[in-house]
Every structure is written in C-alpha cells, then in structure tokens.
C-alpha cells in the first residue's frame, strides 16, 4: 500500500514535469547535432544570466554590422529578439524548452536571408563570445547546436 502510494506520487510528479517540459506554445525543437554538445555547455555560458548577457552582446555586434543591421532594424524588435533568443539558446544548450517565438522557418520565411548575411551573424556570435570571455571551444557548442537551423533561415 505504501509502495503503491509512492509509485502513484512518483507517476504524478513525472507527468507534471512532462507537462512543464513540453509547453504547448513551443514552436521550435531542440536540434540533434552529431556527437551531441558538452553537457556543461549551459553552465560554461554562465547559466541563464550568462546566455542573456551573451545575446545582448550578440545584438550589439549585429547592430554595428552594416551588412545585417538594416534587416534587424526593419523587421526585428531588438528587445523582443533578445528575449526570444535567450530562450532559444538556453533550449539548444541543453536547458528547458521555454521558447515562445515562432519556428525558425516561419520567422525567416519572408526575409530572403543570404548565406553571407547568415555568416555575418555567425561572426557576431563569435565576437560576442570573445566580448563575454566565453571560451572558443564552449562557443562552438552553441554554433554546433544552432547550425542545423541554417537551412530554415537562409532562403535565398
């Protein structure tokens, strides 16, 4: 009887955590890079606050780059972008999926992003890592996890 109750409670706890882990609004899935990413990647980024700080640096460098700044100025609300990107990066780095934005393909479908513009954001990402004193090897874990979105984002 005691064992049964414990099992029941465990089951309830599991189903509740499952509910939290797969919120209905999530519109993008975690990527599956080959060989995975290092398990401590999120921690090495400085946790949630570290990722948030990195995303702020990312947009600082993006808005300084004439190749891509106009796109973000026209189509993106940088404050909202920072909020959503923090959620996205936490997810792909192995944290919970709390991403509230549109899927990568839906968000970029009409923008006609070129490979060179995409790579300019990659350059900004590395610059942001350097600015936030995140090791190159750790930075590559994020690049690894975001790279599979390339085909969804680059449409031209």
Partner 1 sequence: MKGSKGSGTRWIKGLAFVALSMVSSHSWAGLYDDGKVFLTGGVFTVDGAGGGGAVPWATITGYETRDGINGGVGFTYVQLPNYSLNFLGGSIGFFDRFELSYVNTKLSTNLGNVDTVALVASVLNLDNNLGLDPNGSNLHMETYGAKLRLFGDAVYTSDSYLPQTAIGAFYKVNSTKEFVKTLSAAEDKDWEAYMAFTKVFFRYSTLVNLTVRYTSANQIGLTGFGSCDNGHRNCNNDKEFRVEFSTAYLLQKNFAIGGEYQQHGNQQKNKPVDTGDLLAGDGNGGLLNPIVGGLVGGVIGATNLRDSLVQNESDWYDVFAAYAPSKNYSITIAYLFLGDIAVAREQNGLYLSLHATF
Applying CB under 8 A, the site for partner 1 has a residue count of 29
151 binds partner 1 (CB under 8 A): yes
* Closest to partner 1 by CB, 82 or 105: 105
* Closest to partner 1 by CB, 6 or 156: 156
152 binds partner 1 (CB under 8 A): no
Segment contacting partner 1 by CB under 8 A, of 8-16, 71-79, 85-93, 144-152: 144-152
105 binds partner 1 (CB under 8 A): no
Q: Is 108 labeled as ligand-binding?
A: yes
Residues in region 34-93 near partner 1 by CB under 8 A: 34-38
Label each residue of the chain as H, E or C. CHHHHHHHHHHHHHHHHHHHHCCCCCCCCCCCCCCCCCCCHHHHCCHHHHHHHHHHHHHHHHHHCCCCHHHHHHHCCHHHHHHHHHHHHHHHCCCCCCCCCCCHHHHHCCCCECHHHHHHHHHHHHHHHHHCCCCHHHHHHHHHHHHHHHHHHECC
């Amino acid at each position: 009887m005691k064992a049964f109750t414990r099992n029941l409670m465990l089951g309830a706890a599991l189903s509740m955590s499952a509910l939290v882990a797969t919120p209905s609004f999530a519109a993008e899935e975690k990527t599956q890079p080959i060989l995975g990413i290092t398990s401590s990647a999120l921690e090495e980024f400085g946790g949630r606050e570290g990722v948030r700080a990195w995303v702020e640096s990312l947009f600082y460098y993006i808005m300084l780059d004439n190749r891509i700044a106009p796109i973000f100025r026209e189509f993106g609300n940088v404050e909202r972008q920072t909020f959503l990107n923090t959620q996205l990066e936490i997810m792909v780095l192995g944290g919970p999926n709390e991403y509230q934005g549109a899927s990568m393909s839906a968000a970029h479908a009409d923008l006609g992003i070129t490979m060179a513009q995409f790579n300019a954001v990659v350059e900004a990402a590395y610059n942001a890592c350097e600015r936030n004193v995140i090791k190159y090897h750790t930075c590559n874990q994020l690049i690894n996890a975001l790279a599979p979105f390339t085909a969804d984002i680059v449409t031209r």
